[in-house]
Amino acid sequence: MTEERFRRAFVILLVVAISAAFVAMIRMFLLTILLAAIFAAVSRPLYLQVERGFRGRSGVASAFTILVLLVLVITPLSLLGGTQLDWGKFAAGMLGLFLMIASFLAAGLYISAQVRTPLIAAVASFGLLMLLVVLYMSGSAEGTASELFIYLSHFGHFLSFLQGLFDSSDLVYYFLFSAAFLILTIRRLDNERLAR
């Protein structure tokens, strides 16, 4: 019995050690891998739509999707020919955009897990996102300015990224928003799975 426990403990220790060594080897690339995963998750719906348009030809759909994404990335870089591009502001804006999209995806995923019909999920997700916009508009309106409404809104946090400011409270907001909706989605799906 103790020999079996020793073997299990040794295997677990070996897996942890190998995992730690692997993370140490790729730690310089973790941010790149994370951004690539976010970019892939964001662009997958576009690819699926394009694949349907090309009647299931995945090679042509992949090439077209890559072309569209390259145009989206290269377009801001075209400004380099005529102006001085502020790379810090550009990077902050792109980071803010990715964080906002990731949080929108997390909220949409949660709403999609709550309902059975995709149309209802899409309308409810759009309604939630419009609520966040209305919160920002009502918080920044003259005479009724409310810091709480601006803080609860996505757009208020995104604006600081667009100005080139990297505020850790905005990063924490997007992280907590996304994590909360992802955890709620996982719990909902687990409850549904256990109910069967």
pTM: 0.58
The answer to whether residue 160 sits within a structural domain is yes
* Alpha-helix residue ranges (DSSP H) falling in 27-57: 30-53
Confidence at residue 145, expressed as pLDDT on a 0 to 100 scale:
60
Phi/psi for 86 (5° steps) reads -85, 100
Q: CB 1: neighbour CB atoms within 10 A?
A: 5
- Residue linked to tokens 């042509």: 60
Confidence at residue 183, expressed as pLDDT on a 0 to 100 scale:
93
Q: Are 103 and 174 in contact (CB under 8 A)?
A: yes
Domain extent for 104: 86-196
The answer to whether residue 10 sits within a structural domain is no
Residues 156-175: tens digit of each pLDDT: 788 888 888 888 888 888 99
The answer to whether residue 13 sits within a structural domain is no
Nearest alpha-carbon partner for 125 in 47, 176, 50, 181: 181
The answer to whether residue 107 sits within a structural domain is yes
The answer to whether residue 174 sits within a structural domain is yes
Residues 70-121: tens digit of each pLDDT: 887 787 777 777 777 777 888 888 888 888 888 888 888 898 888 888 878 8
The answer to whether residue 163 sits within a structural domain is yes
Domain count of the fold of the chain: 1
| Greatest C-alpha distance within the chain | 74
The answer to whether residue 5 sits within a structural domain is no
The answer to whether residue 169 sits within a structural domain is yes
Tell me how far apart the alpha carbons of residues 67 and 189 are, in angstroms, rounded to a whole number. 36
Tell me how far apart the alpha carbons of residues 113 and 185 are, in angstroms, rounded to a whole number. 6
Residues 4-20: tens digit of each pLDDT: 788 888 888 888 888 78
Q: Are 178 and 170 in contact (CB under 8 A)?
A: no
